[in-house]
Amino acid sequence: MGFAFEVVKKDPSGARLGRLRTPHGVIETPAFMPVGTAATVKGLTQAALEELGAQIILANTYHLFLRPGHELVQELGGLHGFMAWPHPILTDSGGFQVFSLAGLRQVSDEGVLFRSHLDGSEHFLSPERVIEVEMALGADIIMVLDECIEAPAAEGRAREAARRTVDWARRSQEFFGREGDSQRQMLAAIIQGGTHAELRRQCADALVAMEFPAYAIGGLAVGEPHEVTSEITGLVTARLPEEKPRYLMGVGRPEQIVDYVMRGVDMMDCVMPTRHARNGSLFTSLGAISIKNAKYARDARPVDEECGCAVCRRHSRAYLRHLFLSNEIVGSILNTCHNIHFYLDLMAKIRKAISFGNLSELRSGLQARLAERSTPGGVAE
């Protein structure tokens, strides 16, 4: 029972191969978490996620708090019971959504007053209240409420948000220490500080001093160049304890993921594979393709000739294009299945490469192939 994290192998690049034990199973890291906002990964049934080998999924506290409500979820056995997913789950704190989706926000040290994006109803979330909601939802890994700011943000604004985030983290930890169960749920802190190196360092140091069992890096990949995301990530992970898992929130593109792993990141989540799938953008070993492109109309080849997923084994680009243009549900299902397979397969390759000590070769190989994008032989656009 309970939690344990073990770094099985550390690569000279900074990458880590790890195992995170949770009450609902072990997560091999580095891991990608498909996003299941409303207690469902859009387009994939739980059975499909199991077939794809998803180890853990992420659900959104903000959305579930508003609908169907955390008390209802709790009554039906928490998220694991409600959505019949007996494997690990992580809930975010809702911070990002309150600051990006909700209306009429009033932020104070006390918490956030906001209006639901669904019906305009007014709600107040404090750090303590968020933990209470996440305890009811019952995910294995839960996140503290953080203040997310617009990007780019001036140093003063970022400093204020980082200060508040640290203050909220302390209150969250105190509340969870009194009311929560650390054998059942792991509470992770979130490091903020925008793209300001010194702020990031201070925020990380303050949170590390509080000894959370896991650390997340938030507020990145919000418009800044990939190099900046990567650099900030690296300077933060350098200050984090080796023996605790690190989660980089909301990333990333396939070609960026190896970079983050080399910065010592263990877990990531991103809506990209699922959302892009529904928009007809499919990941391949030669880059992303847009399945609606007329050149695929009579293309009998699979999306990715090197892919072993159920979709590529069975269906042609021509068929997927037809489904997309016809706005058919099965188009979204198949596209999502392929994209999530692509991400999970990439993570498996990364873990294998760390294990075999050839992650740099994997990275060069990936980048070389993506460089073929613009060549006549490449399938990608």
Question: Contact positions toward its own copies, by CB under 8 A?
Answer: 38-47, 67-68, 72, 75-77, 82-84, 297-298, 300, 310, 314-316, 318-319, 322-323, 325-326, 328-334
Tell me if residue 269 is catalytic: yes
HSE (CB half, 13 Å, CA atoms) of 140?
23
Quick one: 158 or 323, whose CB is closer to its own copies? Answer: 323
Give the whole-angstrom CA distance, residue 161 versus residue 241.
23
Contact 248, 15 (CB under 8 A): no
Is 311 or 359 the residue whose CB approaches its own copies more closely? 311
92 catalytic? Reply is yes
What's the CA gap between 340 and 91, in Å, rounded? 19
Could you give the 3-state DSSP secondary structure of residue 185? coil
Q: Torsions phi, psi of 193, nearest 5?
A: 130, 10
Which own/partner pairs from 121-129 qualify as long-range (CB within 8 Å, at least 24 positions apart)? Answer: 121/66, 123/65, 123/66, 125/65, 125/94, 125/98, 126/171, 127/168, 127/169, 127/171, 127/172, 127/175, 128/171, 128/172, 128/175
Please state the closest distance from residue 297 (CB atom) to its own copies, in A. Answer: 7
Instruction: Kindly state the smallest distance separating residue 304's Cβ from its own copies, in Å.
Output: 16
Task: Name which of 41 and 353 has its Cβ closer to its own copies.
Answer: 41
**Least distance from its own copies to the Cβ atom of residue 67, Å:** 6
Please identify which of the residues 140, 146, 259, 269 carries the catalytic annotation: 269
* Residue 193 CB coordination number (10 Å): 30
212 alpha-carbon distance from chain centroid: 19
Give the single-character DSSP code of 92: -
Minimum distance between the CB of residue 70 and its own copies, rounded to whole angstroms?
Answer: 12
| Cβ proximity of 161 and 105 under 8 Å | no
Q: How far is the CB of 54 from its own copies (least distance, A)?
A: 14
Give the nearer residue to its own copies in terms of CB position, either 53 or 177: 53
Catalytic residues: 92, 269
